[in-house]
């Protein structure tokens, strides 16, 4: 049977989602496939909804795989979580149509980026958020993010994982603040490589007052003009989840510490 599963992971120890070959560095896909092979006694391929980079986290990565399993789905979930490492958990699981593919069938994907905007660094959040000590104008960042909503050529913000098409439809782009924590959340039909991290770098320059909010739209008119910023660090980025027609994935549990938890309700 084909199974879909919703997975959360803390990505600090991993070289990203996609299996690397040849490489001894751990990846999310590699760990999942090794765990499933241990359970099934045969090699199993895992497909994912989003190919997160090294150090990127996930609340709701959706995966799919084929397995011969004679027990209940609840037993399969328990067995997976008993074998998976401490920084990874399957929090929902179900049977999928036999041809379901989590990447090709995703109608939209959601990412969130967390910034810690306190004057001093937070030693407990160093792998969970980007520390930006200078004050940020969140209203200007919101104004800039809203300019990205719609169908545009986002070539200035990244490169496509395959082919040449850099046109994407952003359905929602919001900036929220809770004390010293700032969250940028974006939903789109698909994303370019490093697109969200480059967007965050642009938003931070706008929040610092180095550029006006209108600069966010200028890059849409010049997709060949790469923003003069290094991408924001990977450890502030979270893959929140994906939407589908043929499977129903519940909202993720409240994984984060209390100080970050409110952002899961954006």
pLDDT tens digits, 145-163: 999 999 999 999 988 888 8
152 in Cβ contact with 168 (< 8 Å)? yes
Q: 197 to each of 27, 94, 116, how far by Cα in Å?
A: 20, 32, 15
Q: Average pLDDT, stretch 251-260?
A: 65
Predicted confidence at residue 24, as pLDDT, reads 77
Token couple for 158: 């990244």
For residue 186, the surrounding DSSP H or E stretch is strand 181-188
- Does residue 87 have an active-site annotation? no
Does position 185 have pLDDT exceeding 60, yes or no? Answer: yes
Cα separations in angstroms, 26 against 17, 23, 61, 229: 9, 8, 17, 29
Using CA atoms, how far residue 219 sits from 2, 6, 126, 195, 226, in Å, is: 42, 34, 30, 12, 8
Helix, strand, or coil (residue 89): strand
Q: Which residue has the higher pLDDT, 23 or 125?
A: 125
Q: Quick check: bond before 184 cis, omega within 30?
A: no
Lowest mean pLDDT across 22-31, 109-118, 224-233:
224-233
Answer for the pair 72, 205: CB distance below 8 angstroms, yes or no. no
* Portion of the chain with pLDDT greater than 90, in percent: 77
User: Which residue is catalytic, options 53, 87, 258, 265?
Assistant: 53
Res 227: pLDDT: 62
Q: Between β-strands 108-116 and 130-131, what pairing exists: parallel, antiparallel or unpaired?
A: parallel
Structure tokens at 248: 């129903």
Task: Sort strands 108-116 and 167-178 into parallel, antiparallel or unpaired.
Answer: unpaired
| Residue range 6-29: mean pLDDT, rounded | 89
| 163-177 tens-digit pLDDT | 889 999 999 999 999
């Amino acid at each position: 049977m084909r199974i879909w599963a919703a997975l959360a992971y803390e990505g600090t120890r991993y070289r990203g989602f996609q299996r690397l070959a040849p490489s001894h560095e751990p990846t999310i896909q590699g760990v999942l496939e090794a765990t499933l092979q241990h359970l099934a006694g045969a090699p199993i391929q895992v497909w994912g909804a989003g190919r997160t980079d090294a150090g990127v986290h996930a609340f709701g990565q959706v995966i799919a795989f084929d397995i011969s399993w004679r027990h209940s789905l609840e037993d399969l979930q328990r067995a997976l979580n008993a074998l998976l490492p401490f920084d990874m958990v399957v929090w929902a699981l179900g049977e999928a149509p036999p041809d379901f593919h989590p990447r090709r069938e995703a109608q939209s994907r959601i990412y969130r980026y967390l910034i810690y905007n306190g004057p001093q660094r937070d030693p407990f959040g160093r792998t969970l958020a980007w520390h930006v000590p200078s004050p940020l104008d969140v209203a200007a960042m919101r104004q800039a993010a809203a300019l990205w909503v719609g169908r545009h050529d986002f070539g200035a913000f990244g490169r496509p994982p395959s082919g040449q098409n850099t046109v994407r439809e952003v359905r929602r782009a919001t900036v929220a603040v809770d004390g010293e924590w700032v969250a940028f959340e974006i939903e789109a039909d698909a994303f370019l490589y490093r697109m969200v991290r480059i967007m965050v770098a642009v938003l931070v320059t706008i929040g610092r007052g180095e550029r006006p909010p209108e600069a966010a739209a200028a890059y849409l008119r010049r997709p060949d003009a790469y923003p003069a910023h290094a991408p924001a660090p990977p450890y502030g980025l979270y893959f929140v989840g994906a939407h589908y027609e043929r499977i129903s994935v519940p909202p993720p549990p409240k994984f984060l510490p209390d100080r970050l938890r409110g952002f899961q309700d954006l």
